[in-house]
């Protein structure tokens, strides 16, 4: 009887579903959003040794891409003066980045105004609009 209870318990425990929280999301063929801690996401090249300079630090809040460019909005973290081992989100400091996929170059950080000007200079289509990164992780969770 004890074996039966143990086996049933193991089956029950292993079949319980967990709250699936993906740790990465592919952005095009060469990049991925990686969950580094909590909700802090960074954009990193899949071939990190070759394109390590194209890295965009956490916390990426919004992203968009096409075959030519990746656009990203980053919320800058600052040190917490009360706890040197922690950081707090400074939501007033936003950095914008552009990665030119054809030439493997990263541009930024930009202010919002500089970012909009640079998008026009690069002739990035208006359809390539920044979206909250949670949108992509939600799409990935949905069953096909």
Nearest to 31 by CA among 22, 41, 20: 41
What's the pLDDT score for residue 143?
A: 55
Q: Are strands 83-100 and 69-80 parallel, antiparallel or unpaired?
A: antiparallel
Q: Is the dihedral of CA 20, 21, 23, 27 positive or negative?
A: positive
Eight-class DSSP state of 56: B
What's the pLDDT score for residue 125?
A: 94
Cα separation of 34 and 103, whole Å? 23
Cα separation of 63 and 31, whole Å? 12
Cα separation of 65 and 50, whole Å? 20
**pLDDT tens for each residue of the chain, 144 residues long:** 655 455 544 454 444 444 434 577 778 778 888 887 777 788 878 775 555 667 888 889 999 999 999 999 998 866 666 766 665 655 568 999 999 988 889 999 999 999 999 999 999 999 999 999 887 766 555 554
What's the pLDDT score for residue 2?
A: 59
Neighbour tally for 24: CB within 10 Å? 14
């Amino acid at each position: 009887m004890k074996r039966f209870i143990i086996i049933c318990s193991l089956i029950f425990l292993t079949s319980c579903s967990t709250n699936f929280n993906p740790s990465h999301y592919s952005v095009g063929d060469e990049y991925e959003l990686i969950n580094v801690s909590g909700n802090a996401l960074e954009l990193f090249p899949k071939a990190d040794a070759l394109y390590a300079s194209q890295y965009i630090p956490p916390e990426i809040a919004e992203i968009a891409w096409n075959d030519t460019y990746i656009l990203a909005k980053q919320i800058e973290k600052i040190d917490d003066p009360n706890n040197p081992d922690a950081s707090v989100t400074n939501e007033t400091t936003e950095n914008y980045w552009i990665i030119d996929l054809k030439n493997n170059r990263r541009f930024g950080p930009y202010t919002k105004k500089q970012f909009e000007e640079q998008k026009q200079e690069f002739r990035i289509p208006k359809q390539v609009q920044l979206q909250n990164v949670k949108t992509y992780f939600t799409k990935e969770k949905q069953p096909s």
